[in-house]
């Protein structure tokens, strides 16, 4: 029983990162109607960014967020301007196909770049406080992962406020809902696309930083994270960042439970089962709205 509770807690902690990883993908997909399959590679890059800051300059990984996030924002703006900005010019039906091609190409390129720069070995950031554990009764909570969960929650809440209150945040939501109507009200939708993509990349960078400190990174983690994020997006549906975060927690716990019930190898299976079940029973996701 204790073991199970321990697994659930670890699942929640990992699930927070799933939620953060998925929020960026969801934002880009919801606004640009483009599926960025290189999202996991952007997470990987964020992780290496923090790793470099730590290894070369001794920057604490949580402080590194203050550099990684703006850096990722700029990277996102660059990727949109150089690549995805051309994809969104296509009509919506061809957009998804083109975005898959561009995304897979980008993923391969970033993977190769990472192997070149950092080798294929697993890396993780080990800080002085890395082993600290908070003990609640029989359950041990790794402090670093708890802090990561809280940071992830804060970032999601920040994003939610940004989209709810900021003038361009509202413009981004308006563009996601109906780009033609957005255009008619005078919103420069290309700018809304650019902002959404940059924000999505910034979230990926933040997620990667947290992965590199609580877990480990290697050049090949991209696909796995894209997949987890995609499962969470399908589970949550589009439109609600807080809902996406909750769905991330859900996936983390579901994985922990299935590993406990059926053994470790089944950890990965449950996500795919959820993916299929949601698509069959509730294609708009738990928090999404059915198309009219």
Half-sphere exposure of 228 (CA within 13 A, CB side): 27
160 binds other proteins, rule: CB under 8 A: no
Residue pair 233/22 in contact (Cβ under 8 Å)? The answer is yes
Q: Are strands 139-142 and 133-136 parallel, antiparallel or unpaired?
A: antiparallel
Residue from 67, 284, 80 nearest 201 by CA: 80
Decide whether 89 or 289 has the Cβ nearer to other proteins: 289
CB of 181 to other proteins, least distance (A): 4
Residues 6+ apart with CB under 8 A from 192: 31, 168, 171, 172, 174, 175, 182
187 binds other proteins, rule: CB under 8 A: yes
Decide whether 58 or 167 has the Cβ nearer to other proteins: 167
**What does the angle CA 48 – CA 59 – CA 47 come to, to the nearest 5 degrees?**
15
- For residue 276, give both structure tokens: 């299929």
Half-sphere exposure of 120 (CA within 13 A, CB side): 2
170 binds other proteins, rule: CB under 8 A: yes
Write the binding mask 118 to 137 for other proteins: x where contact by CB under 8 A, - elsewhere: --------------------
Candidates 129-137, 154-162, 166-174, 262-270: pick the segment binding other proteins (CB under 8 A): 166-174
Decide whether 170 or 267 has the Cβ nearer to other proteins: 170
CB of 228 to other proteins, least distance (A): 26
Site for other proteins in 211-240 (CB under 8 A): 239
Query: 74, 188, 261, 276: which one contacts other proteins (CB under 8 A)?
Result: 188
174 binds other proteins, rule: CB under 8 A: yes
Residue pair 75/45 in contact (Cβ under 8 Å)? The answer is yes
Burial class (CB in 10 A: 0-12, 13-18, 19+), 215: middle
178 binds other proteins, rule: CB under 8 A: yes
Candidates 4-12, 22-30, 106-114, 176-184: pick the segment binding other proteins (CB under 8 A): 176-184
Decide whether 12 or 194 has the Cβ nearer to other proteins: 194
Tell me the C-alpha distance between 271 and 129, whole Å. Answer: 32
Query: 171, 247, 251, 274: which one contacts other proteins (CB under 8 A)?
Result: 171
184 binds other proteins, rule: CB under 8 A: yes
Decide whether 92 or 178 has the Cβ nearer to other proteins: 178
DSSP 235-270: HH-SS-HHHHHHHHHHHHHHHHHHHHHH-GGGHHHH
Write the binding mask 52 to 81 for other proteins: x where contact by CB under 8 A, - elsewhere: ------------------------------
241 binds other proteins, rule: CB under 8 A: no
Tell me the C-alpha distance between 290 and 292, whole Å. Answer: 6
Query: 183, 223, 227, 257: which one contacts other proteins (CB under 8 A)?
Result: 183
In angstroms, what CA-CA distances link 263 with 6, 255, 258, 260, 268? 15, 10, 7, 6, 11
Question: Angle of helix 143-165 relative to helix 61-79, nearest 10 degrees?
Answer: 40
Query: 63, 74, 181, 273: which one contacts other proteins (CB under 8 A)?
Result: 181
CB of 177 to other proteins, least distance (A): 5
Interface with other proteins by CB under 8 A: which residues? Answer: 167, 170-171, 173-174, 177-178, 180-189, 239, 289
């Amino acid at each position: 029983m204790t073991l199970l509770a321990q697994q659930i807690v670890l699942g929640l902690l990992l699930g927070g990162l799933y939620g953060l990883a998925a929020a960026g993908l969801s934002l880009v997909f919801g606004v640009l109607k483009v599926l960025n399959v290189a999202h996991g590679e952007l997470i990987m890059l964020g992780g290496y960014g923090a790793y470099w800051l730590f290894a070369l300059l001794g920057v604490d990984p949580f402080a590194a967020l203050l550099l990684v996030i703006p850096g990722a924002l700029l990277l996102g703006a660059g990727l949109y301007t150089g690549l995805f900005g051309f994809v969104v010019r296509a009509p919506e039906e061809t957009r998804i196909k083109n975005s898959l091609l561009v995304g897979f190409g980008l993923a391969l390129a970033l993977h190769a770049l990472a192997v070149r720069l950092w080798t294929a070995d697993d890396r993780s950031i080990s800080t002085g406080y890395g082993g600290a554990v908070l003990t609640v009764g029989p359950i041990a909570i790794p402090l670093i992962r708890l802090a990561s969960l809280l940071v992830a929650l804060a970032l999601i809440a920040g994003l939610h406020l940004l989209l709810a209150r900021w003038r361009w945040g509202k413009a981004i939501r308006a563009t996601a809902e109906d780009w033609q109507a957005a255009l008619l009200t005078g919103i420069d939708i290309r700018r809304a696309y650019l902002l959404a993509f940059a924000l999505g990349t910034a979230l990926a960078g933040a997620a990667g930083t947290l992965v590199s400190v609580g877990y480990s990174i290697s050049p090949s983690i991209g696909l796995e994270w894209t997949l987890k994020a995609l499962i969470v997006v399908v589970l949550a549906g589009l439109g609600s960042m807080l809902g996406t975060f909750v769905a991330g927690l859900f996936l983390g716990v579901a994985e922990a439970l299935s590993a406990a019930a059926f053994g470790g190898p089944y950890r990965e299976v449950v996500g795919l089962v959820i993916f299929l079940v949601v698509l069959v029973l509730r294609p708009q996701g738990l928090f999404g709205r059915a198309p009219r």
